[in-house]
């Protein structure tokens, strides 16, 4: 199985030993961040620093002139990734023989929400989610499509992986996060993800719903969960809480908005890219799921993109719905496996996890994350990849 590891530019820039160290893991490819959200990241081997604080969502290269005069546009990075940090890291990594693909985070941007709150998802209580741009809004959709094309197609890149290309919801860690006191389950999180910005309110109307009545119904449905009632897992719980017809109407609106945005973004990347450029989507096979791994219909997304990167922190079972589609023989089904022990990864069972992923139809693996892992974790990765 082909293996790629995720890398940040700041893992490489300023550390002459980083490219060879990453290549020595045995990976054939790196997935290098070109557009990324705010984060605080460990750099345990860098000669200049141990902690990098990326203060806001940014592009990690100089944006081009397409953004002139536009209200929504990407921010350049600060001193954590100045200039063309992506380009400098990509060149160094490619110099070791590694194939470089871009890693592009899209609908996850706290700075956009802070400076333009009208772009954010608004829940049934009127609370805004500043980290979550509403993907139904026309201006936001245009911004995300153009950002995908620019950030994905960097010089020398052979492909791109598009993350957060769909709805985002409540499940987002924040500084000193204190939202885990009530277990909402899948159904509760879906209800808390429903957006009531003006565009979504109009969209619900197109599907026969009164937005005010829907918001009231969502608040009423959530009330037992706030008091500690158990949530029925999955879509059945949503239908029970909201009613089958109402639930289906909300999903019809949201699925269509996500699906057409994914189609437009992939098409824009392909139009800007050279022949043979690979476009993958970080994806969850349950369409109503939200977050970094966008909920998708497996058959549809494999007809649009060249493949998917699938979250496998709890095992590779989510590969199965994608593998069951058959279709394109060259479709990439990449299992995203954590290899940072301190973040819940399992580098010491990597061989077994890769074998299981292959059994379930996986064709490649993604390893999260070479820059964050300890030396002991990286040693386990080297051993597992050497034994393939």
| Domains of the chain listed by start with CATH number | 2-121+133-173+260-386 (3.20.20.80)
Output the pLDDT for position 172. Answer: 74
The single-letter DSSP state of residue 113 is: H
Pairing of the two strands 51-54 and 2-7: unpaired
- Could you give the 3-state DSSP secondary structure of residue 325? coil
Residue 139 exposed, middle or buried by CB count within 10 Å (0-12, 13-18, 19+): middle
| Ranges of residues in the chain whose predicted pLDDT is under 50 | none
**Calpha distance 236→244 (Å, rounded):** 9
Output the pLDDT for position 343. Answer: 95
Output the pLDDT for position 176. Answer: 60
- Kindly report the backbone phi and psi dihedral angles of residue 183, in degrees, each rounded to the nearest multiple of 5, phi listed first: -85, 110
CA angle 149, 152, 153 (to 5 degrees): 80
Output the pLDDT for position 323. Answer: 95
pTM of the model: 0.96
Q: How many CA atoms lie within 13 A of 4 on its CB side?
A: 27
Decide if 346 contacts 383 (C-beta within 8 A): no
């Amino acid at each position: 199985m082909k293996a790629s590891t995720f890398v940040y530019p700041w893992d490489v820039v300023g550390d002459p030993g980083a490219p060879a160290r990453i290549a020595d893991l045995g990976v054939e490819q790196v997935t290098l961040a070109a557009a990324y959200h705010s984060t605080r990241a460990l750099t345990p081997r860098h000669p200049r620093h141990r902690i990098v604080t990326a203060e806001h969502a940014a592009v990690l290269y100089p944006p081009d002139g397409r953004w002139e005069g536009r209200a929504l546009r990407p921010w350049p990075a600060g001193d954590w990734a100045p200039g063309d940090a992506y380009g400098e890291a990509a060149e160094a990594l490619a110099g070791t023989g590694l194939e470089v693909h871009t890693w592009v985070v899209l609908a996850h941007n706290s700075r956009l929400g802070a400076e333009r709150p009208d772009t954010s998802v608004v829940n049934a209580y009127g609370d805004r989610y500043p980290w979550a741009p509403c993907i139904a809004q026309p201006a936001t959709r245009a911004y995300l499509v153009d950002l995908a094309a620019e950030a994905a197609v960097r010089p020398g890149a052979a492909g791109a992986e598009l993350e957060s290309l769909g709805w985002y919801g409540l499940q987002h860690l924040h500084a000193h996060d204190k939202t885990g006191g009530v277990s909402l389950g899948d159904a509760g999180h879906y209800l808390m993800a429903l957006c009531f910005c003006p565009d979504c309110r109009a969209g619900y109307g197109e599907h026969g719903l009164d937005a005010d009545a829907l918001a009231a119904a969502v608040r009423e449905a959530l009330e037992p969960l706030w008091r500690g009632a158990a949530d029925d897992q999955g879509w059945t719980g949503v239908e029970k809480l909201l009613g089958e017809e109402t639930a289906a109407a909300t999903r019809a609106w949201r699925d269509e908005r996500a699906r057409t945005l994914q189609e437009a973004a992939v098409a824009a990347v392909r139009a800007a890219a050279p022949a043979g450029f690979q476009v993958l989507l970080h994806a969850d096979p349950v369409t109503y799921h939200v977050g970094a791994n966008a909920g998708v219909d497996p058959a549809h997304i494999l007809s649009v993109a060249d493949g998917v990167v699938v979250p496998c922190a709890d095992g590779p079972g989510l590969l199965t719905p994608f593998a069951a589609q058959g279709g394109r023989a060259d479709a990439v089904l990449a299992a995203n496996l954590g290899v940072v022990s301190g973040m819940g990864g399992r580098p010491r069972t990597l061989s077994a996890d890769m074998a299981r992923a292959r059994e379930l139809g996986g064709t490649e693996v993604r390893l999260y994350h070479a820059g964050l892992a300890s030396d002991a974790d990286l040693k386990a990765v080297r051993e597992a990849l050497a034994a393939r």
